[in-house]
Every structure is written in structure tokens, then in C-alpha cells.
Structure 1
Amino acid sequence: MKLTDFRYEFDSIDVPAHPVEPRDAARLMVLNRADKTITHETFADIHKYFNKGDCLIYNNTKVFPARLKGKKEKTEASIEVFLLRELQPENKLWDVLVEPARKIRIGNKLYFGDDLVAEVVDNTTSRGRTIRFLFDEPNEKLYSMLDQLGEMPLPPYIDRKPEEKDKERYQTIFARERGAVAAPTAGMHFTPELIDKLKEKGVRMAPVTLHIGWGTFRQVEVEDLTKHRMDSENYYISEETSRTINEVLDSKKNKVVACGISSVRVVETSTMASGHAKPAMGWTDKFIYPPYDFKITEGLITNFHRPESTMLMLAAAFADFDFLMQAYKEAAEKNYRFYSFGDAMLII
């Protein structure tokens, strides 16, 4: 398939700037791949589609306030630094994007408030820099300062400024492992009450970690999808999660449902030749698009994604391209909300 196959246009779509409250009040479109039917539900009712012994895989990454406003030394010129990833915690080195890039050079000192200073130590891309925080305190103290000074990195299509409340709103209830600059948004629909219902039903919960990077919003720029390269993202799947997944797969009667595109990429990256999951950690640039033979994923919870995005491509590989596009057309007609703060889809 080609990039332009994933271009869609509707008369209008609703792209909300805030999530619905409570979170599980979002709408849920259920796609049944076997009989090609579409059902309309509320997310709070998703537990109806799980049976005792099924497994829900979720991404426990935590978004940190990655956007810093500051001043450049001497000139006092306003600058912005976007923290992409921590390179060397022991040396407080970070990979970042800067604005205005033309004025931020190696050796410059950048000031964020009275007590936090960074020095530019290298160039990476036209807007990319490596910086070192000149901070002698433990890293936990640095993270605390970043949490206070930083703004949440809302998606570029959200047409508003970040608010203090976004530090809670742009997270899932699963968020534990700090490191993402974009939320695994399918998980944002879950509430503690809904998780309790799933557990009471006997659904097994299996966490994985994938620290979603800013590359998730990067447009695919090649028509031939075989030539696209995903940005590498750090992931982890534990021995316990792998064992849980494999027990469910071997049961032949229960299903493994992944919450979110990022969860799918973790388990499909960690697949053995036997079709089982294995414990692993490292970096993945796995790009899934049609056609693709899923080894582990048997159900998928996801949002409604941007045209020509890699998330849409993975969903199409799982659901069947024509069926998914039919569903998107129906979603637009029925005023479903799209993108990060939008409604959800369950593909079974």
C-alpha cells in the first residue's frame, strides 16, 4: 500500500481540546472483524467484550512536562527547549529541540528560572541540540524541578496553550514509568472503577512500557511505505507480563487485547519465532502497516487517528483497510470525536 491510500477527507471532524469527563463516558465504536459489523457503545461498557481469563496489555509510560521556557545568557532573549529524551542520567545529558534554533549555539547557557541552568554541548539536527543541566543535585531533584517549570507537550493539533491541569489530564491512570513526551491515548479512557470491573471479571492485567517520542507526530514523507523509518523508542516487557501473555495464548480459549498502538508495537517487537512473547528491553523502530501477520495481538483498543499517520496504518493492518475506512466514515457521520482527546474504537 502507498501513503496516499491513508489519506481521508470528511466534511468535518470533531477534534476536542479537552478529554470528556468522566473518562469512560467517551463513545466506543466496536468493530467485529469476523462478520464485519459495527456496534456503538460507551467506553464504560467495554468490560462486556472481555471474558474471564482474557488479558489486557497496557502501556504504563508517564508523560513528563517536556516543554521549557527560558532565557539565553547575556542577551536575555526568550528561548524554548523541548526535552526529547534523557541520554545519560549520570551526566544529566538530554536530547532536545530548541527555538529559535539559529540563535542557540554550542557553549550557550540557557536559564530556566533562578535555579536551573543548562549548557548546549552539541548540535544534532537543524533544530536539535544536546544539553547538559548544570545541576549537582540528584536526578530526582532535577525531575522535580522540570515538573514544576515545564509545560505538558500537548499534540500539535490541539489548538490551545497547555494548562496546569494537563499534567493530570494528559496521562492515563496506568502512568508509572516516566519518559514519554506523548500519551498512550487509548489508555486515557480507563477509570479506576472500570479497571475494578475488569479485574472482578477475571481479566488479567499486563503492563508494558514504551516511552512514546515526538516522532509519533512526524508525518510520513515517502509514498513507498517500505522506505519509511520510524524513530526508535525505548521499551520494556517483563518476564511476568510475557508469562501472562503466553499462558493466555496457550489456553486457546482466551484473547490478548492490546490497549493502544504503542502496546502492540512492544509485544510484536518482543515476539519469538514460536509466536510467544519474551522478556526484553531496548529500542524499537518497528513499523506495522498492511499487510502484517500479528503474532500476539488478538484485539485492539485505539483512538481515531490522523490521516497518513503510522497509527492509522497499524490499525488498518489489524482491522482490514477497507473495513477500517468504512468505520472512519461512519464515525465522522455520527460525530465521533477524533485524535488524542477523542473517542475510542475496539477491534475484535
Structure 2
Amino acid sequence: MSSLLSDYDFELPEAQIAQAPLGARDASRLMVVSRSSDARAHRRFAELPELLREGDLLVVNDARVIPARLLGSKVGTGGRVELLVVRPAAPTLTSQALGGATEALEWICLGQASKGLKPGARIAFEGLEAEVLEALGGGEYRVRFHAAPGTSLAEVLEKAGRLPLPPYITRAPEASDAERYQTVYARASGAVAAPTAGLHFTDATFAALAAKGIRRVEVTLDVGPGTFLPVREENLEKHHMHPERYFVSEATAQAVNAAKAEGRRVVAVGTTVVRTLEAATEPETGRLRSGPGETTIFIRPGFAFRQVDVLLTNFHLPRSTLVVLVSALLGRERTLAAYREAVAAGYRFFSYGDAMLVTE
């Protein structure tokens, strides 16, 4: 149960960082690892229905990535500015705020500029203007956007924004990324990164799962940039997660609570689902509660899982909170051993890479 960041490191050749998706979503490789033994198997993602059980409950994150990257210039000086729209400044707002018609709306953004950004700076983008209201530290700013009357920020982003591919994908976004960097079930706009474990699924996969008696339900967690930001504290107990908004429907809460009561497995598709389910759990009863919320939960070894039995996930960055989360479920030594084997076997890593199934 190490709390040292350096204990979650591994060697990863740069050539194994996937820069583009495979031709077919379900063509990815799938490593199957056990929580109770050192057994590991090498399969294909298309075989997932064979690896799950009748009665399993599959939980996915239906967040949709928005074109949240804005490139503009400072009014007056012309200096280059880049903003990444992260979340509404008002914590009561949900991702639905994107679609609300407004002339001015305040958002928390990550910002970069040629000579820094200070409160009062005005930035011109295509179709809108923004004003920096406050520097929050860590590269975050509170920004007020001004759009034409009756225009929503979502409409402006669709016109002026760019898809925010992860920083480890070094090429420029292509037209095909607009479709492949979304899950086939993406619905709720508001994320700045895809819930990548879900990128492998196809309609045929879901049909095969349904035929086996495996039900699918959805949660929403608007994936934020914290998923990519480096951990700067060697002592993990000092690391603070960026807040992310989530929503659990009443139908999903009922389905998860019924599965747990009946002894059926809850299969989380991705670390974002794990964080949503565990954050939305009532501490006293262990039941999943419905409704909106915001979480900064940091799951690390020693965490007592209340909801998740099985995890489907991609391979993550060394020294990242996501590797730590997987280690909390699988164990640090087994996680690192699986990662070393994946490297040796030529698995593709990160968002467009291969997947791992963590089972009992």
C-alpha cells in the first residue's frame, strides 16, 4: 500500500504510445488479469462477451468530448493564447450549461499565453471574445465568455473550438478523430477527454453482451484535464485531484443496487466509472445514490471498494493517478507485473491503445 509516487513507475518505450486508433474499434488486444492470482491471459477485445458472465451489470460513462480547445490572440497586443474550457465556474451548473443561450458565461479554463495571462486581459477568438477575471493558480483561470445574443457556448465551440486530443498524441487532430475519439454511446456533452476504455465497444459488442444476459447502464462523468496532468507530489497523500462533475440516474442507481443485493458483478468500463460509482456511494449504507455531484476522490491502495467488482481499462501513464487507481483494485505488484508483460508483448498504450480486464 505504498503512498510514494515513484513506486508506480515503469519503463515504456515511446513507440508503444498509440498515436492513432486501429481500423476497427474491437480489434484491440485485451489482457485479462486476476485479482486473486498471478494468472494473465492475452485475448482480443471482440472476445469480451465470452469473458463476462450472464447477469453481470456493465456500467459505462456516456460523456461526450466537446471541442474545448480554443486558439486566439490578446486584444491589443496580438499575443497568442490557448484556452481549454474545463467546467462552469458556478458549481451548481452541469454540462447542460453549455447549451444555455447567454451573452456572457463564466467558466474555469486552463490557459497558456506567449507572455502569461493576467486578470483583465481580453482574448479574441473566432466568433466570441473572452475576459480573464481571475488567476486561480496551476494554470487555471476564471474566464467570462461573450457571445452573440441568443448564442450558447456550445454553438461557439462547435464553430471555433478544436478537439482536445491528449498531449501524448503528438500529431494534429484529423477529421476521423471527431468520430473515433468518442464512444459509440457518447451522449452528454461536457468532457475534455474521452472515457477511453469505452472506445473499443461497437454495436455488435453490445448486441453480443445483451444476448448473453449482460445489461448496460450509464453514468456521466465530465472527464477533466486532471486525467493528464502530472502528479507533482512524491507523497500521494498530498496530491489533490481536479474536481469533476458527475450524474447518476435513478435507473442506474436502482440497477447497481439490485446487482449488489443479488450478488451479481458490477463491471466498470473505465476509471471514470469507478470514480463515479465509488464517489456516489452512501457511506452508511453502501448504496449508490442518484443525482448530480462533484468529486475529487483519489482512489489509491487501501481504498475499500463498495461497488466495483470488475474493471475494464486501458493502459495508463507511468506515475499517474490512474495507475494508482488500478493498483488499488489489482494490487501494486500485480499491476506493475502486468504492465511489464504488456510492454514486452508489444501492447499499445493510452487512449488509442489496447485494454486490460481486471477480474476476480
TM-score of the aligned structures, taking structure 2 as reference length: 0.91
Query: How far apart are the structure 2 equivalents of 1:103 and 1:35?
Result: 51
Relative distance call for 1:341 and 1:126 in structure 2 (3 A) is closer
State the 1:148 CA deviation. 2.3
Does 2:284 match 1:282?
no
Match of 2:271 among 240, 245, 261: 261
Match of 1:48 among 38, 41, 50: 50
RMSD in angstroms over aligned alpha carbons?
A: 1.8
Match of 1:329 among 331, 336, 340: 340
- Residues 12, 332 of structure 1: 8 Å contact kept: no
Query: How far apart are the structure 1 equivalents of 2:213 and 2:138?
Result: 51
Name structure 2 gaps, 5 residues minimum. Answer: 91-96
Give the aligned residue type for 2:188. E
Does 2:122 match 1:109?
yes
Please name the residue that 1:22 is paired with.
24
Relative distance call for 1:39 and 1:103 in structure 2 (3 A) is closer
Match of 2:72 among 63, 70, 82: 70
**1:1-348, aligned counterparts within 5 Å?**
1=2, 2-10=4-12, 14-88=16-90, 89=97, 91-100=104-113, 102-113=115-126, 115-125=127-137, 127-138=139-150, 140=152, 142-252=153-263, 254-272=264-282, 273-348=284-359
State the 1:211 CA deviation. 0.8
State the 1:11 CA deviation. 5.8
Query: How far apart are the structure 1 equivalents of 2:112 and 2:303?
Result: 39
Give the aligned residue type for 1:191. T
Name structure 1 gaps, 5 residues minimum. Answer: none
Spell out, residue by residue over 1:218-246, the C-alpha distance to the aligned partner (whole angstroms, 9 max, x if none).
Answer: 22222222221111111111111011011
Secondary structure class of the residue paired with 1:124 = strand
State the 1:106 CA deviation. 3.0
State the 1:19 CA deviation. 1.2
Query: How far apart are the structure 2 equivalents of 1:103 and 1:315?
Result: 36
State the 1:324 CA deviation. 1.4
Query: How far apart are the structure 2 equivalents of 1:324 and 1:99?
Result: 35
Spell out, residue by residue over 1:62-105, the C-alpha distance to the aligned partner (whole angstroms, 9 max, x if none).
Answer: 11111111222233333222212222545411111222163543
Relative distance call for 1:139 and 1:263 in structure 2 (3 A) is farther
Give the aligned residue type for 2:174. E
State the 1:122 CA deviation. 2.6
Query: How far apart are the structure 1 equivalents of 2:310 and 2:15?
Result: 26
- Residues 24, 190 of structure 1: 8 Å contact kept: yes
State the 1:13 CA deviation. 5.5
Query: How far apart are the structure 2 equivalents of 1:52 and 1:143?
Result: 40
State the 1:12 CA deviation. 6.2
Secondary structure class of the residue paired with 1:196 = helix
Query: How far apart are the structure 1 equivalents of 2:293 and 2:13?
Result: 42
Give the aligned residue type for 1:243. Q
Give the aligned residue type for 1:345. M
Query: Between the two proteins, what is the percent identity of the paired residues?
Result: 38
130-139 vs 91-100, which moves further? 130-139
State the 1:109 CA deviation. 2.6
Query: How far apart are the structure 1 equivalents of 2:31 and 2:150?
Result: 46
148-157 vs 37-46, which moves further? 148-157
State the 1:169 CA deviation. 1.8
- Residues 13, 335 of structure 1: 8 Å contact kept: no
State the 1:271 CA deviation. 1.5
Secondary structure class of the residue paired with 1:102 = coil
Query: How far apart are the structure 1 equivalents of 2:151 and 2:293?
Result: 21
- Residues 65, 167 of structure 1: 8 Å contact kept: no
274-283 vs 260-269, which moves further? 274-283
